Amino acid sequence: MDIKDLYRDVILDHNRRPRNFGPLEPADVSVEGFNPLCGDRLTLRLRMADGKIADIRFDGQGCAISTASASLMTEAVKGLTRPQALELFDRVHRLLTDDSASPEDLGKLAALSGVREFPVRVKCASLCWHTLASALHSPAAGDLPAVSTE
Amino acid sequence: MSSVAARDPRPCFDVQAARREFPILQRMVHGKPLAYLDNGASAQRPSAVIDAVDDYERRHHANIHRGVHTLSQEATALYEGARDSLVRFINARSRHELVFVRGTTEAINLVAQSFARPLLKAGDEVLITHLEHHANIVPWQIVCEQTGAKLRVVPMDANGEIHVESAEALFSQRTRLFACAHVSNALGTVLPVRRLVAAAKARGIVTLVDGAQAVAHAAVDVQELGCDFYAFSGHKMFAPTGIGVLYGREALLERMPPWQGGGDMILTVSFEKTTYNALPYKFEAGTPNISGAVGLGAAVEFLRGLDLKAAHAHEHALLEYSTRILGGLDYLRIIGTASAKASLVSFVVAGVHPHDLGTILDQDGIAIRTGHHCAMPVMEFFKVPATARASFAFYNTFEEIDRLAAAIARARSLLT
């Protein structure tokens, strides 16, 4: 096991220069994710239009895995419908936890597959995705209580 | 990086001999020799402890305080012998003052529920400090909620120090109890416990000291400290997990009701009335962690066999060396710069989250703690979500600190 399996170039790049980072005003949905294990906090804001994610941005502080995963996620889900985004959540969740899950067709998100070799770090990568699922399961607007990976 | 020759010459603690006593230190992790720098979370066990537990399990195990058969008598003698070792270790007045518990957390909860809860009235105050571990915060919050008492907090300065005057400023007519750490787990600060306790006692305030981080690093004398309660865990002083000690002044323990009911803590039971056993058994309901106590007793005897003064001097040299080496990295900030510190360094690295650092160091065989150290108010104070913490024991070496510094540099060049 090499440390570069976890910290692949795509991950390092998205950690150094996170995409879609910062506030989103106005937003239809704002959800906070918190990982009590490491103190990572992330706020995800979405703007919905025609049943699609018209815009999505995040901010907060987290480790490289958490930041890169959130950055990659915002790129991947922008423009998707709710069912499409939730399906992607399921695929990424399987990718992070199931050794047999294939990263095929996942594009840049395939870089997250290295995380499953580091079980204590899976929650870092999945925090933003759980936060997204929570946002998508909410009424389209308004803040919700914080979700937790614990 | 400093060379070996540049280090302070230190007297005569044979680190390699100490290391040979701890079998786990021979282990490889990810193909590298283990550098175990997470002693603040849990220290490793010497062969003397492992063998004592093994011998107990193989030859002497039975329930204690009950049977008249040989094994029960042997197990009882070993369990009570461990208590006697601990009484001497912390200089308690008598074995009545030494209660076996699961660990520091249980000890503090016991005092909160058995001592504080019956005493506290609405408007009374419990005083703690800003740098406490959650185990010395939450039990008091719970008892304050139960009684209507208020929890107040002695502030900390920018170095992570607690000043006696700051505590004195908060002592009031309503302060019933003052609880503080002996050593901060997140920062390493050694608190002026003797003076804090004296100041509280002068006002008739009962005191509890959380000694979890202290017992492995300093000789603790509860009579000299003068505190009413002192709590610590075995596993941070080279003994097994799940065993710890509550020291309490006999007069106070005597007045306190039992906190758990069950076997061994009673004298007689009828459905109308139960009479409680004498100290310390009143607080040891149910079959205890006998093998853990045996292991803790063995750890105390192991420590007695060491030149503790030299061991502690070596730990201090490790602290100074790591502070110098890590402090010399311009992208690293040490969190907690008290003038008196135990042998640990908490830090953050610019551009590298502690959690990433922990994973990368692990690949180099280096074990450190990363996170909030169960001290979220401390993290909040220093405006960091988490820190990395290297915490040393006398079996750590200067070479391990060199490896730590080199691995931090590699992590930084990978991630930034």
Instruction: State pLDDT tens for residues B219-237.
Output: 999 999 999 999 999 999 9
How many CB pairs below 8 A link A and B?
A: 53
B353 to A64: CB separation less than 8 angstroms, yes or no: yes
Task: Give the residue on A whose Cα is nearest the Cα of B351.
Answer: A16
CB B110 within 8 Å of CB B252? no
Tokens read off for B49: 């402890």
pLDDT at A142: 36
B414 to A41: CB separation less than 8 angstroms, yes or no: no
Q: Which residues of chain A lie closer than 8 angstroms to B414, CB-CB?
A: 3, 7, 12
Q: Is the pTM of this model over 0.90?
A: yes
Domain of B349, CATH number, reads 3.90.1150.10
- Chain A contact present for B43, CB below 8 A: no
A3 to B414: CB separation less than 8 angstroms, yes or no: yes
- B337 Cβ contact list (under 8 Å, min separation 6): B159, B160
Q: Which residues of chain A lie closer than 8 angstroms to B415, CB-CB?
A: 7, 12, 15-16, 64
Do B265 and B392 fall into the same domain? no
Do B238 and B292 fall into the same domain? yes
DSSP A3-62: HHHHS-HHHHHHHHS-TTBS--SS-SEEEEEEETTTTEEEEEEEEEETTEEEEEEEEEE-
Do B184 and B324 fall into the same domain? no
CA B154 – CA A13 distance, rounded (Å): 44
B385 to A15: CB separation less than 8 angstroms, yes or no: no
CB B183 within 8 Å of CB B342? yes
Q: Which residues of chain A lie closer than 8 angstroms to B355, CB-CB?
A: 38, 40, 63, 65, 121, 124
* Closest residue to A63, CB basis, from B355, B376, B379: B355
pLDDT at B322: 98
CA B109 – CA B135 distance, rounded (Å): 8
Ramachandran angles phi, psi of B29, nearest 5°: -130, 125
List chain B pLDDT tens, one digit each, 416 residues.
444 444 554 557 999 999 999 999 999 999 999 999 999 999 999 999 999 999 999 999 999 998 889 999 999 999 999 999 999 999 999 999 999 999 999 999 999 999 999 999 999 999 999 999 999 999 999 999 999 999 999 999 999 999 999 999 999 999 999 999 999 999 999 999 999 999 999 999 999 999 999 999 989 999 999 999 999 999 999 999 999 999 999 999 999 999 998 888 888 888 888 888 899 999 999 999 999 999 999 999 999 999 999 999 999 999 999 999 999 999 999 999 999 999 999 999 999 999 999 999 999 999 999 998 899 999 999 999 899 999 999 999 999 999 999 999 999 999 99
Do B321 and B234 fall into the same domain? no
Q: Which residues of chain A lie closer than 8 angstroms to B386, CB-CB?
A: 38-39
Distance from CA of A80 to the nearest CA of B (A): 31
Do B385 and B339 fall into the same domain? yes
Peptide bond into B354 cis (omega under 30): no
- B170 Cβ contact list (under 8 Å, min separation 6): B127, B152, B154
The predicted-structure confidence for A32-69, as pLDDT tens digits, reads as follows 999 877 778 899 999 999 889 999 999 998 999 999 99
B385 to A61: CB separation less than 8 angstroms, yes or no: yes
CB B322 within 8 Å of CB B401? yes
Among B304, B321, B356, the domain boundary falls at B304
- Give me the number of domains chain B comprises: 2
Ramachandran angles phi, psi of B397, nearest 5°: -125, 165
Domain of B136, CATH number, reads 3.40.640.10
Report yes or no for ipTM above 0.90: no
Among B284, B304, B324, the domain boundary falls at B304
Considering only CA atoms, which of B283, B359, B303 is closest in space to residue B114? B283
Q: Which residues of chain B lie closer than 8 angstroms to A38, CB-CB?
A: 353-355, 370-372, 385-386
CB B214 within 8 Å of CB B342? yes
B363 to A1: CB separation less than 8 angstroms, yes or no: yes
Rounded mean pLDDT, A97-106: 88
A38 to B415: CB separation less than 8 angstroms, yes or no: no
* Closest residue to A63, CB basis, from B30, B356, B414: B356
Do B275 and B211 fall into the same domain? yes
For the domain made up of A3-148, the CATH class stated in words is alpha beta
Would residue B227 show up in a list of annotated catalytic residues for this protein?
no
Residue A111 — pLDDT band, cuts 50, 70, 90? very high
pLDDT at A149: 59
- Residues across chain A: 150
Q: Which residues of chain A lie closer than 8 angstroms to B372, CB-CB?
A: 38-39
- Between strands A29-35 and A147-148, the pairing is parallel
- Chain A contact present for B415, CB below 8 A: yes
Do B273 and B184 fall into the same domain? yes
Do B274 and B312 fall into the same domain? no
Q: Which domain holds residue B97?
A: 50-304
**How do the domains of chain A map onto residue ranges?**
3-148
Do B168 and B225 fall into the same domain? yes
Do B25 and B60 fall into the same domain? no
